[in-house]
Structure 1
Amino acid sequence: MSALDDQTILRETATRVLDAHGLVLEDVEIRRSSGMPQVRLVVDLPEDQLGSADLDAVADASRALSEAVDADDAVLGSAPVLLEVTTPGVDRALTERRHFRRSRGRLLALDTVDGTRYRARLLAVHGEDLHLRQEPGRDDRGRPLKLPQGTPERPVIPIAEVTTARVEVEFDPPADLAQLLADAETTAADHPAAQKES
């Protein structure tokens, strides 16, 4: 079995190098074509941090990973390989709890198993629940849209009920976002689902 087939050493090496740069390994993608194999490492911030990975940190980690691969044939084998280090990008589907934790404060478009569609800001992830604040957006004239009658402004949705979720690109997040997140953490801890866990 080649080093590209068994990714154990690659993952261990990447995890060690990325940790030194404040990053985590999100995924490994290997593409084999008629030419040189391509290994793409998708990296991100640890789940307890908000925002996006700093491009300078990603570039530094990429150089360190290249040096580690060059120094040890056990990582990717002795044949030439094109190594790429990248971040997930905003169009990544949110599928894991850690993806949602990193997206706290972001505006999401998500669908649930019962067919409900939400455009909402993710304020907290507590246990396996997403604490949201619905933000319906604006119409084509720029007027704020209203939530349908009887729709909760701050729904709590189990991650297991989410069928699709993506971050929406946003140019003007709320000025009081830090306070919203802090308040939501307190509220989430007092939520009945959270009390059952403790």
Structure 2
Amino acid sequence: MSTTQSERLRELLEPLVASQGLDLEEIAVDAVGRKRVLRVVVDSDTGADLDLIADVSRVLSAKLDESDAMGDAEYTLEVGTPGAERSLTEHRHYVRATDRLVRFQLHEGGELVARVLAVDEDGVDLEVPGVKGRKATTRRLAFGDIDKARVQVEFNRKDTTDAAGAQNAQNAQNAKNNDTTEDEEA
């Protein structure tokens, strides 16, 4: 039984990635001129910061150096995360997309853009934004009805926790200004 280089690399690297508390999402080997680039995409439920990515990169690089998985030719190792507009292909991806806006391509045809409210083993509960002043509605979408799904970048979303934090900061500033005014009057 023949295995591809990507499959062999996955078998080699996945336990190392898991030992760092991450999921191995994707491996790709691409030719760039005379060199090759090994791209490794990792993620977790809590995300991955730059320090963790650097640690994983060092661990993977050491393992690759001691094995012959990449052969003798030069290559560059790139380790990163899926990015803002990630495709949702696994159950865990949908869970991680809870409270995010997602564009769904449906098997029946058509497209739906909605916010993921909850995820279970059978599908997702969504909030579909209202159009032209109408209220948002909820909808259940089974995984079997989804052809493709991709997280959408939101630039104008108002986060309620940020609004509360901004209000608290404004209240603190007002209190400070009042204290300063009272000190000047005294």
Compute the TM-score of the two structures, normalised by the length of structure 1.
0.68
SS class of match (1:105): coil
The residue type paired with residue 102 of structure 1 is R
Aligned pair partner of 1:153 in 120, 137, 162: 137
The residue type paired with residue 160 of structure 2 is A
1:71 corresponding residue in structure 2: 66
1:170 corresponding residue in structure 2: 154
Q: Is residue 2:10 matched to residue 1:16? A: no
How many Å separate the matches in 2 of 1:168 and 1:8? 30
How many Å separate the matches in 2 of 1:175 and 1:117? 28
Task: Name the CA shift for 1:12/1:114 in 2 (closer, same or farther; >3 Å).
Answer: closer
How many Å separate the matches in 2 of 1:99 and 1:9? 24
Higher helix share: 2
2:165 corresponding residue in structure 1: none
- What do the CA deviations read for 1:128-168 (whole angstroms, capped 9, x no partner)? 2111122347x7xxxxx425xxxx81111011212332212
How many Å separate the matches in 1 of 2:159 and 2:113? 15
Preserved contact between residue 109 and residue 166 of structure 1 (Cα < 8 Å): yes
How many residues were matched structurally?
A: 159
Aligned pair partner of 2:116 in 122, 135, 139: 122
How many percent of aligned residue pairs carry the same amino acid?
Answer: 34
Gaps of 5+ in 1: 140-144, 177-198
Task: Name the CA shift for 1:39/1:121 in 2 (closer, same or farther; >3 Å).
Answer: same
How many Å separate the matches in 2 of 1:35 and 1:64? 25
Aligned pair partner of 1:59 in 44, 54, 62: 54
Gaps of 5+ in 2: 162-186
Preserved contact between residue 97 and residue 128 of structure 1 (Cα < 8 Å): no
* 1:112 Cα offset (Å): 2.0
Aligned pair partner of 2:102 in 104, 108, 111: 108
1:142 corresponding residue in structure 2: none
Compute the TM-score of the two structures, normalised by the length of structure 2.
0.72
Displacement over 6 Å in runs of 4+? none
**Matched ranges for 1:35-46 at <5 A:** 35-45=34-44
- What do the CA deviations read for 1:84-111 (whole angstroms, capped 9, x no partner)? 1121112232233332122122111223
SS class of match (1:69): helix
Higher strand share: 2
Q: Which has the larger radius of gyration?
A: 2
The residue type paired with residue 17 of structure 1 is L
CA RMSD of aligned residues (A): 2.7
